[in-house]
Structure 1
Amino acid sequence: MSITYKMYTMCMVQDKDKVLLINRPDKKGFPGYIAPGGKVDFPESFVNGAIREVQEETGLIVKDIIYKGLEEFCDPHTNLRYMVFNYLATSFEGSLLENPPEGELLWVNKEEALKLPMQSWFARRFPLFFQEGTFELSYVWDEKTRETLDKTERYYSLAPVQQH
């Protein structure tokens, strides 16, 4: 049995109380507001893929970037494992592109972002970028019936620092 692995990144760019989102048009797939991201090129690392995707889609070069977690979808009928490695960037340099390739760029107040039209999976993941620690979300998904067959959701706090 052959399994197809697709590996992507998503990087939430935060500037104080605002986040940078892309308003993706229907023709691009995943319409609505979403954070920058895309396919990881072989053999680049996941974090370098996230940095590159942010620069290609927004023009910004992210600096302080931290790993937030993994969300994956597995379809047992097509043998597809679709993995998204998620990051949060809290500093950057450069300026926004005038004609971004993936859709209109918009700085949005973090507290207002979930009121915007977006994919349900992105709305579910959105608050996790800002929580302490990391997450691991794994869904067994039947694309034909559009049903979740199984799920694992784990949230990991940062380990306490040992005092000497």
Structure 2
Amino acid sequence: MNIKRGLNHLSAEVTHKIYTMCMIQDGSKVLLMNRPDKLGFPGYIAPGGKVDFPESIVNGAIREVREETGFIVKEIIYKGLDEFCEPNKGLRYMVFNYLATSFEGELLDHPPEGELRWVEIEDVPKLPMQDWFKRRFPLFFAEGTFEMSFVWDEISNKTLDKTIKNYGIGVKS
């Protein structure tokens, strides 16, 4: 697909924004936060946030979990990349996704990003959440890693292109 077609103009400069998301799993449950409208992306979501320069991406994920939940991640698995590009603004928004299966510490009494709640994995799709999180959620538990890229034109409010790949599915050790 030619993504330049239909755009009014392309930004000469590109801004990269790098974020993380870390699903915390304990057996058949995951820890989600219910973000209020005032913080943006309302509804249930996994912990995560902006990677500070020059910290590594995985260390950004571990830090965000600690800041938002109080947990210290002990084991973390890279699950994939989800990115959104807006060519008119020259914006590339990249979210590196992880699954934490071992952690220690106590949940915060007053978490800064929203109420924390342990939820059975099978019940998560019934919760209110952003469409992009609903699409990404099962990929945290799928075999292998994923890569999703969406080119979205804010002016026309249309997805111009998308790439969705799964790596390592069905590969035997």
Fold conserved between structures, TM > 0.5? yes
Q: Shorter chain as normaliser: what TM range? A: over 0.9
Number of the residue aligned with 2:92: 81
State TM-score, norm by structure 1. 0.96
Correspondence for 1:15 among 1, 26, 39: 26
Gaps of at least 5 residues in structure 1 are: none
1:124-139 paired onto structure 2 within 5 Å: 124-139=135-150
Instruction: Output the CA distance in 1 between the equivalents of 2:43 and 2:147.
Output: 24
Number of the residue aligned with 1:101: 112
Match of 1:111, SS? helix
Deviation beyond 4 Å, 4+ runs, structure 1: none
State TM-score, norm by structure 2. 0.91
The amino acid of 1:146's aligned partner reads: N
The alignment status of 1:90 with 2:101, answered yes or no, reads yes
| Bigger mean CA offset, 144-153 vs 103-112 | 144-153
Gaps of at least 5 residues in structure 2 are: 1-11
Aligned-CA RMSD value: 0.8
Note the alpha carbon deviations across 1:38-70, whole angstroms, 9 max, x for none: 000001111000000000000001111000000
Report the count of equivalent residues.
Answer: 161
The amino acid of 1:160's aligned partner reads: K
The amino acid of 2:73's aligned partner reads: V
Give how far 1:142 is off. Answer: 1.1
Number of the residue aligned with 1:157: 168
